[in-house]
Structure 1
């Protein structure tokens, strides 16, 4: 039987990976998740470097690409490179230059670490700008704007994102409630969510079990869900009415929250300006609230 032609663009490749993900082996599934979570890294790193980071032999990446119809990993990687070059002209060369510079340096100063982190965060935000669809922002604004109460769910590294959402939504006058994990109450609070409410679920790998469980329960109850995660293969994806997949770049300590926080702010702005001709939103200050 003739092997179907492999995808010729990034979007078609990701759709194919989604279609086959449930039937993939554990190793191929892990590769698929990495490809969708770290498209910028896939574009600029060698297959050896990517394999070392994933803890998978490089030959598995080659075989994975061949299973999708490519002659080798470089053919698959070219689609990621095309995506990055189109989304941010000139950025690929800057990242490559940084890669080479990092390899050449042995002792990094505090300023060097700071510079590297800023460049990494810039890559994440640029990826966010390229991959976020206007229609998704509009739909998220509609879901949250129409909800009686917006419930916020996020644990572990996602906790600061939902705390920011709680602050911003409260300050623009939207009723919201945090599903606080303290005392093991998050699951019990979730039972109070009604059909006219909405849930914002935020989770990154390694996905908090309670967050995934509550999100699935709310989807079964037809509660509208807006999710923020790190991959379109995230366990939140199947439950979400709107899923924002935020590109990440690995840092020395933990993956940065710069892009998710930026997205959280954009979502609140979209909610606050919904139906308004003005696009300028100002969060009230403590002074203005007291005057």
Structure 2
């Protein structure tokens, strides 16, 4: 039997068909298995890459197996991964159909077409910052800055690779004389910090890909104790994001063997600068006093 051409994203009987593959995946997200959710998160947030990746490449980026990618495609109603990829390409083409606007300057392109590995990595970071700026709204940023500036206590939760960024965020907030603590491992000290969460606390969760159980636990405890919660994530369908009052997304695409955190670092610094700008003169005195300690 001849295989039919790739068709628009399937929809359940009697339901209105979603406009795109991304929307259909988000509508079905809770029905997927844990490993399939990893694939779903990656596709939604990295559609431009999925449109041109093999199943093996996608599986590696989503920290799963190629067979899971194929089963995920079939769970959506496609015959296999090539049909899902065709749908991703069609959505990508539609989203880039509008002509690019002028005004980007008449100089030479920032990166040549025949990039080496170094230039390819820099180009990806450049694109990550652009994508992050597009995805984060001004209202979300203002809400996040308000929460940080007005919090009596702050806990920044981030494990493994996120532990560095949690510590750096704490450092920036401590310079502004804000009480901030870090939860980076399931140590007795870290757990005691979580035990002190109350309704005057703001818990900020940093997550890349599938969130660590400790970070999810911190967010659930914060919600239970009526504390405010904020998530800074690279997956819009992250379990951490679902537990947050405010969510800020950053793009982490990378041609390398690890995620890019350039946009995350920029986002953290921009938030701290936003808090500083609320009372620049007052904070400047505090920063000078901190440096003299």
TM-score scaled by structure 2?
0.75
Cα offset for 1:118? 0.7
Which deviations, in whole Å up to 9, do the C-alpha atoms of 1:182-225 show, x marking residues without a partner?
74321221111221121111122342221111111111211101
Matches within 5 A, 1:1-291: 4-8=15-19, 14-25=22-33, 28-43=36-51, 45-48=52-55, 50-51=57-58, 53=60, 54=62, 55-56=65-66, 60=71, 63=74, 66=77, 73-83=85-95, 112-181=116-185, 183-274=187-278, 289-290=291-292
The separation in 1 between residues aligned to 2:43 and 2:257, in whole angstroms, is: 21
- Alpha-carbon spacing, 1:163–1:192, altered in 2? closer, same or farther (3 Å): same
Q: 1:28 to 1:113 in 2, by over 3 A?
A: same
Question: Kindly tell me: are residues 81 and 3 of structure 1, through their superposed partners in 2, closer, same or farther at Cα, counting changes over 3 Å?
Answer: farther
Do 1:171 and 1:283's aligned partners in 2 also have CA atoms closer than 8 Å?
no
Aligned to 1:216, what secondary structure does the other structure show?
helix
**Consecutive unaligned residues in structure 2, runs of 5 or more:** 1-11
Describe the superposition over 1:52-107 as per-residue Cα deviations: whole angstroms up to 9, x where unpaired.
5453257556545546xxx854234332444467798799xx9xx86xx58xxxxx
1:92-142 Cα distance to aligned partner (Å, 9 max, x none): xx9xx86xx58xxxxxxxxx3322211121121111011111111111112
Query: Secondary structure of 1:228's match?
Result: strand
8 A Cα contact 1:65 1:73, kept in partner: no
| Root-mean-square deviation over aligned CA pairs | 3.8
| Greater RCO, 1 or 2 (C-alpha within 8 Å, sep 6+) | 1
Secondary structure of the residue that 2:265 maps to in structure 1? helix
Partners of 2:124 and 2:286 lie apart in 1 by 32
Q: Is the 8 A contact 2:155 2:201 kept in 1?
A: yes
Equivalent pair of 2:158/2:207 in contact (CA under 8 Å) = yes
SS in 1 for 2:269: helix
Q: Is the 8 A contact 1:35 1:42 kept in 2?
A: yes
1:198 aligned counterpart, secondary structure: strand
Contact 2:198–2:226 under 8 Å retained in 1 = no
Shift of the 87–227 alpha-carbon distance from structure 1 to 2, 3 Å rule, reads farther
Deviation at 1:273, TM superposition (A): 2.6
TM-score w.r.t. length of structure 1: 0.75
Given that 1:28 and 1:64 are in contact with CA atoms closer than 8 Å, whether structure 2 keeps it comes out as no
